[in-house]
Amino acid sequence: MATKKFKYLIIGNSAGGIGCVEGIRRVDQKGSIAVVSDEKYHTYSRPLITHLIEGDTDRRGMDFRPRNFYKGHGVEPYLGYRAQDLDTDRRLVRLNSSNGGGGHTIRFEKLLVATGGKPFIPPMEGLDLDGVTPMINLDQSLGVKKKLSRVRNAVVLGAGLIGTKTTQALSHQVESVTMVELADRILSPVTDAVSSSMAADAFRRSGVEVLLGNTVTEVRGDGKGRVREVLLKDGKILPCELFVVAIGVRPRTEILEGTPIALANMKVGGGIDVDINMETNIEGIYGCGDCAHAHDFVTGGMRLLPLWPNAYIGGRIAGMNMAGSSHQHRWATNMNSVDFFGFPMVSAGFMLKPEKKGFEEITRKENDCYSKVILKDDVIQGFIMAGDIDRAGIYLGLMRDKVMTTSFKKELLTDDFAVVHLPLEVKEKIKQPIMEIE
Amino acid sequence: MKRIYAIEDVCIGCHLCEIHCQVEHSRSRNIIKTFKDEVPPPSRISVEEDGPASFALQCRHCPEPYCAYACIAGAIYQDEQTGEVIQDRDKCIGCWTCVLSCTKGAIRADTRGPRKAAKCDLCPGRETPACVEMCPNDALYVKEEQF
């Protein structure tokens, strides 16, 4: 079979892959680009899969870019193809049709691996039953949507970002939803105890049952291949026609097996070991998004940050660098924004004050609003705003720029804290548009 | 592209720019009806005050728009011709990632109906944005800048 040649090959058609296309085209308007995905769909906004179930968007509304995107950017899309047999020496990869059709061999000069994550599913009895699903892609979302009419009770295992968003979506569609979480609070990576309990209250007020310190140990069927109930660790049985497993995601790195591309230690979750330019140890091969590490501008270290903005910007920076520019990805940290039943909450950086010298926290709680800032030697290291999130981005900017807050620390959590309270130099900088990506 | 700037020394903190921004983005576009008959939309410009100092701030239409890069719905994009940072309100699902990402604090939550983010759109259809035109003290001006 003939080998096709592309200057740029991108494996992944989500935030990282699209960011990469846009980054390449910022620098190189001509070089040929191929985008490969084992999903057959036009690029879609993956975080909206739960919103599709909830009903706040539709298939068309989920398009991450207009339908003429590939054509307009000179991209040859290979959608519905799985990339395999990566040969980093000869710069070849094999694409096999996901539905068993034919394949292609692609030769590339530069490669981005943006394969995303795969759900972590703990081993247990009954996972193969109909009505049991993870929730990380459009097929799974469409699958659940199709089954909704015969679901009365749903159980969601895991109260992280995917679990909570799935729970909220289902609560609008089925009679009862129970969210089961092993930790002692929901959303533990993106909250502290106070904000987590406020979010849990928003769920409970809306009729969702939240079970903490518990987990599902077995899934039982109805004898006809469909899920009927789940058994909890404490012996309780929850009847359900839908069971969503949303414990977490792991980097999807199978394509790198047998290649010399370095992966990070499993102790830090694995993932492609890229540098701050998003390049791997093999020149011309890059990684970004949920499958790769990224520089955390708060901790200063490299880590997994499986978040949409990190994937997009990482891809964009990889793309510009693949096309010959020199940029660093200094825009990533643990940052999240959610809204549960009208209760908004944003957070970034450290959620809990590290028990180390120099750290302090300031909090404010009033009625339904809670805010907290964590500082080290007067530089912001993390913050949470719940209930009222106006101007939250200012804290993010101050944290990213490591601005000393000494002269305005008193004002930080006041109602009208804004750019005007900042020292002249900082203020004038913030009033200007952001011109450079770094 | 058009970019709106504030002159801090001239701003008297009257907040009329906010009022007229709300009217411009209301259903009726009538100042009385906006505040009497409607739930007024959030202002997309905000006057910030600290003692005698005050100025108005809205979306800077950054050439490197972090809000657009962060948007999980593909609802914010940069216009290739003008460089304006545009929000597709229909696609927005109100996740507030842009509110968290805008380091100027210039994006607001609009919770009147289905959740939507609200940011300066430079008043499409108007020669001069409402906030600039209605500022009684000429503290706001439009500058044409190279994109």
DSSP letters spanning A339-396: EETTEEEEEEE-SS--SSTTEEEEEEEETTEEEEEEEETTEEEEEEEES--TTHHHHH
Contact B62 A431 (CB under 8 A): no
- Give pLDDT, residue A102: 83
Global pTM value? 0.97
Do the Cβ atoms of A118 and A17 come closer than 8 Å? no
Those residues whose C-beta lies under 8 Å from the C-beta of residue A134, and which sit 6 or more positions away, are A119, A121, A140, A244, A245, A246
Contact B49 A48 (CB under 8 A): no
Q: How far is CA A435 from CA A298, A377, B54, B83, in A?
A: 22, 29, 25, 12
Do the Cβ atoms of A143 and A252 come closer than 8 Å? no
How does the average pLDDT of chain A come out, rounded?
96
| Chain centre distance of CA A5 | 31
Contact B74 A335 (CB under 8 A): no
User: In chain A, which residues fall in CATH 3.30.390?
Assistant: 348-431
Those residues whose C-beta lies under 8 Å from the C-beta of residue B99, and which sit 6 or more positions away, are A337, A346, A389, A390, A392, A393, B107, B108, B109, B117
How does the average pLDDT of chain B come out, rounded?
96
> How sure is the predictor about A1, in pLDDT bands with cuts at 50, 70 and 90?
low
| CATH topology (fold) of A121-247 | FAD/NAD(P)-binding domain (3.50.50)
Whether A226 contacts chain B with CB within 8 A? no
Interface with A, mutate which of B62, B72, B107 (most A CBs under 10 A): B72
Residue A407: pLDDT over 90 = yes
Complex ipTM value:
0.96
pLDDT tens by residue, A370-403: 999 999 999 999 999 999 999 999 999 999 999 9
Q: What whole-number distance in Å separates Cα of residue B104 and Cα of residue A394?
A: 6
pLDDT tens by residue, A186-217: 999 999 999 999 999 999 999 999 999 999 99
As a whole number, mean pLDDT of residues A95-100 equals 88
Q: How far is CA A381 from CA A314, A348, A376, B43, B91, in A?
A: 22, 8, 7, 30, 32
Q: What whole-number distance in Å separates Cα of residue A315 and Cα of residue A10?
A: 10
Residue B96: pLDDT over 70 = yes
Contacts of B122 in chain A (CB under 8 A): none
- Give pLDDT, residue B32: 98
Q: Is A413 exposed, middle or buried (0-12, 13-18, 19+ CB in 10 A)?
A: middle
Pick the CATH number of A348-431 from 3.40.50, 1.25.40, 3.90.1720, 3.30.390: 3.30.390
Q: What whole-number distance in Å separates Cα of residue A58 and Cα of residue A208?
A: 24
Domain spans of chain B?
A: 2-144
B74 → closest Cβ in A45, A336, A337: A45
Q: Which positions 384-423 of A are in contact with B (Cβ < 8 Å)?
A: 389-394, 396-397, 400, 416, 418-421
B90 → closest Cβ in A61, A313, A437: A61
Indicate the angle between helix axes A193-205 and A161-171, nearest 10 degrees. Answer: 20
- Give pLDDT, residue B146: 80
Q: What whole-number distance in Å separates Cα of residue A148 and Cα of residue A138?
A: 15
Whether A289 contacts chain B with CB within 8 A? no
User: In chain A, which residues fall in CATH 3.50.50.60?
Assistant: 3-117+250-322, 121-247
pLDDT tens by residue, A295-353: 999 999 999 999 999 999 999 999 999 999 999 999 999 999 999 999 999 999 999 99
What would the two tokens of residue B61 be?
């239409």
Contacts of B92 in chain A (CB under 8 A): none
Q: What is the CATH number of domain B2-144?
A: 3.30.70.20
Nearest CA to B87 out of B64, B103, B67 is that of B67
B25-32 long-range contacts (CB < 8 A, ≥24 apart) are: B25/B118
For residue A262, how many other CB atoms are within 10 A of its CB?
13
The CATH class of A3-117+250-322 is alpha beta
> How sure is the predictor about A98, in pLDDT bands with cuts at 50, 70 and 90?
confident
> How sure is the predictor about B64, in pLDDT bands with cuts at 50, 70 and 90?
very high
Contact B103 A393 (CB under 8 A): yes
